[in-house]
Structure formats: C-alpha cells, structure tokens
Amino acid sequence: MHPVRKRRLTIVIFLLAGLGIAVGLTVYAFRQNINLFYDPTAIMDGEAPHNVVIRAGGMVEDNSVVREPNSLKVRFRVTDFKSTVPMEYDGILPDLFAEGQGVVATGRLRDDGVFVADSVLAKHDENYMPPEVAKSLKKKTGDDAAAEAVKTVVTE
C-alpha cells in the first residue's frame, strides 16, 4: 500500500477505535446507570418500576417528617398536591431540607410502596425548587405560583 494511504488508514483505524471505546462504554453504562424521574402521581399510578434506582421529587408535606429516636432514620411524605409518596431515608439530610420545600430523592421503590432514598437533594433558597419538581407541579396544578417559584436561583 502507498505509505500515505497506509498512514491515513492507521489514523482512521485509531479514531474508529477511540470512538468504539467511547460508544461501547457508554452503551454498557447506560444500561444500568440512568435514573428516570417520576413524580408522586406517576408512582401512585403504578408507572414507576419497583426495586430499580429511580428519582422522585415533589414538596415535602407539612407535618410529615418523623425521626426515629435512636438512629438517623427519618420518614417523610413527598407530594405534588395530587398524590403523596411516603419516603424513608437513613443519613444526614441536606441543610435546606424542610417541610414545604422541594426535594429530589434518588432511591428505590419498595414493594410496600415506600420510597427508600439513598440520597436526598434540596436546593438552594426558599424560592427555588429543582426544575423537574416545578415542571411536574405546574402540570398538576396549572398553578403559576409554582412556575413563579422556579424562576429564581441565585447561586453559584
């Protein structure tokens, strides 16, 4: 083969190999590491799979937070003002976690319908909630107050 063509071929092969590595790893990792978001209504309607890592979010219902006396285990309910999902978490809650705040939790839905969270995210100031939560709340209530609340995020 002509040396120039040969060299081009090597380069092309290398590039394809790199692309192949990237695609292969991505596909492999995507099979199990993508977490879908469900709102409480979807979970209550049985749309969410059980015992698979998913994300769920909404507002923490007022007067729903209960702590266990001798551990860090905490129970609370998350609502989209239409349906409510009970959640359980063992660990330290974020600083901004509070009743009436928007949260997004990552975890699994147990067969008894309780969402067991591995991590809970609450975001930065009282005006703000995670976009997924705001969107689903807006869908549910048609309420512009929720949309209004989303508008301000002032952090870096």
Partner 1 sequence: MIPEFGHFALILALMLATLLALVPLAGSITRRPDLQAFARPLASGQFVFVAIAFGCLAWAFVTDDFSVAYVANNSNSLLPWYYKFSAVWGSHEGSLLLWILILTAWTVAVAIFSRRLPTELVSLVLSIMGMISVAFLLFILITSNPFTRLLPNVPADGADLNPLLQDFGLVIHPPMLYMGYVGFSVAFAFSIAALINGRMDGAWARWSRPWTTVAWCFLSLGIALGSWWAYYELGWGGWWFWDPVENASVLPWLAGTALMHSLAVTEKRGVFKSWTVLLAIVTFSLSLLGTFLVRSGVLTSVHAFAADPARGKFLIGVLAVTIIGSLTLYAFRAPVVHARVRYGSLSREIFLLLNNVLLMAAMLLVLVGTLYPLVLDYLGAGSLSVGKPFFDLTFSPVAIAVALLLGAGVFSRWKRTDGGWLGRQLLWPAAISLVLAVIVPLWLGHLEPWAFAGCFAAAWVSVATFRDLWARSASRQGRWTGLRRLTRSYYGMVLGHLGVAVVMAGATVVTNYGVERDVRMVPGETVEMSGLTFHFDSLRHRQGPNYSAEQGRFVITREGEPVTTLYPEKRVYAVQRNVMTEAGIDGGLFRDLFVALGEPVGDDAWAVRIQYKPLVRWVWLGAIFMALGGALAIADRRYRMRVTRESPETAKQEPSSPEAVTGGVS
What is the CB neighbour count within 10 angstroms for residue 60? Answer: 21
Is 124 known as a binding-site position?
yes
Residue 26 gets which letter from DSSP?
H
Structure tokens at 83: 């349906």
The C-alpha atoms of residue 62 and residue 49 are separated, in whole angstroms, by 27
Using CB under 8 A as the criterion, what x/- string covers residues 42-71 for binding partner 1? -------------x-----------x-xxx
86 or 131: CB nearest partner 1: 131
**Phi and psi of 140, rounded to 5°?**
-70, -45
Between CA 124 and CA 131, with CA 130 as vertex, the angle to 5 degrees is 135
- Identified binder of partner 1 from the candidate list 44, 96, 114, 147, rule CB under 8 A: 96
Binding residues for partner 1, rule: CB under 8 A, are: 3, 7, 10-11, 14-15, 17-19, 21-22, 25-26, 28-30, 32-37, 55, 67, 69-72, 90-93, 95-96, 104, 106, 123-125, 130-132, 135, 150-156
Give the annotated binding-site residues for heme. 124, 128
